[in-house]
């Protein structure tokens, strides 16, 4: 483990500021979460610049001698307790990036009008849910499996339009698979226009 360039002082400054705000009186779990947050932000841990998100919860559980469920809880708590607004927004940007470069594969559901993808990150699920609700009560469904997200295709495309713009959704739409075939961009654009109008 080593600090990123010029981050050692920032690490110490943030730690000291939090100590002055009463960190030593916090619960042990809060102290551990804050220290992991600082390490993730200011250090290259295990040769990764964002080790809390570049490793899966299963891998992190083995590294940190914990459980995958506990790791997911820690990641979620860090997002809500310690991240500033820009860091918090970056969580959703990371989700969009993963959807765009096929790190998360999107499928058209057999349930017509829905798309599905696997999403393990609790903080990404929370932010996705928050953004969908702002679109007029839309919500994703994870009743079948807690990591399988099912969203109305129109609302999903509307969300993408709002968050990344019409030109940038093409890359993500290309990744929506339908029975092992990629949907045509034209079909997706037409579908998107119907839902936006």
Count Cα neighbours of 119 within 13 Å in the Cβ-side half-sphere. 27
Q: Please report the pLDDT score of residue 50 as a whole number.
A: 80
Instruction: Report DSSP state, residue 189.
Output: H
Question: Quick check: 184 pLDDT over 80?
Answer: no
Q: What is the mean pLDDT of the chain?
A: 79
Confidence tier at 74 by pLDDT (50, 70, 90): very high
pLDDT at 29 over 90: yes
Predicted pLDDT at 151: 85
User: What are the tens digits of pLDDT across the range 126-170?
Assistant: 888 888 888 876 677 776 677 888 888 888 888 888 887 666 666
How many CA atoms lie within 13 Å of 89's alpha carbon, on the beta-carbon side?
Answer: 5
Residue 21 has pLDDT above 90, yes or no: yes
Please tell me whether residue 44 adopts helix, strand or coil conformation.
strand
Nearest residue to 69 (alpha-carbon basis) of 120, 128, 32, 26: 120
> What torsion do the CA atoms of 85, 90, 95, 96 make, to the nearest 10 degrees?
110
pTM over 0.85: no
pLDDT at 172 over 90: no
**Who has greater pLDDT, 119 or 109?**
119
């Amino acid at each position: 483990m080593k600090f990123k360039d010029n981050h050692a002082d920032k690490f110490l400054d943030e730690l000291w500021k939090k100590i002055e705000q009463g960190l030593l009186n916090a619960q042990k779990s809060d102290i551990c979460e804050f220290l992991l947050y600082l390490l993730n932000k200011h250090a290259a841990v295990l040769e990764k610049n964002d080790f809390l998100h570049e490793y899966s919860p299963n891998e992190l559980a083995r590294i940190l001698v914990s459980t995958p469920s506990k790791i997911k809880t820690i990641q979620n708590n860090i997002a809500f307790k310690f991240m500033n607004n820009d860091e918090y927004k970056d969580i959703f940007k990371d989700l969009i990036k993963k959807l765009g470069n096929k790190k998360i594969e999107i499928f058209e559901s057999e349930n017509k009008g829905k798309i599905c993808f696997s999403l393990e990150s609790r903080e990404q699920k929370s932010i996705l849910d928050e953004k969908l609700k702002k679109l007029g009560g839309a919500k994703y469904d994870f009743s079948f499996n807690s990591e399988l997200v099912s969203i109305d295709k129109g609302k999903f495309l509307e969300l993408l339009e709002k968050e990344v713009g019409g030109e940038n959704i093409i890359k993500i739409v290309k990744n929506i698979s339908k029975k092992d075939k990629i949907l045509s961009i034209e079909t997706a654009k037409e579908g998107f226009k119907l839902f936006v109008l």
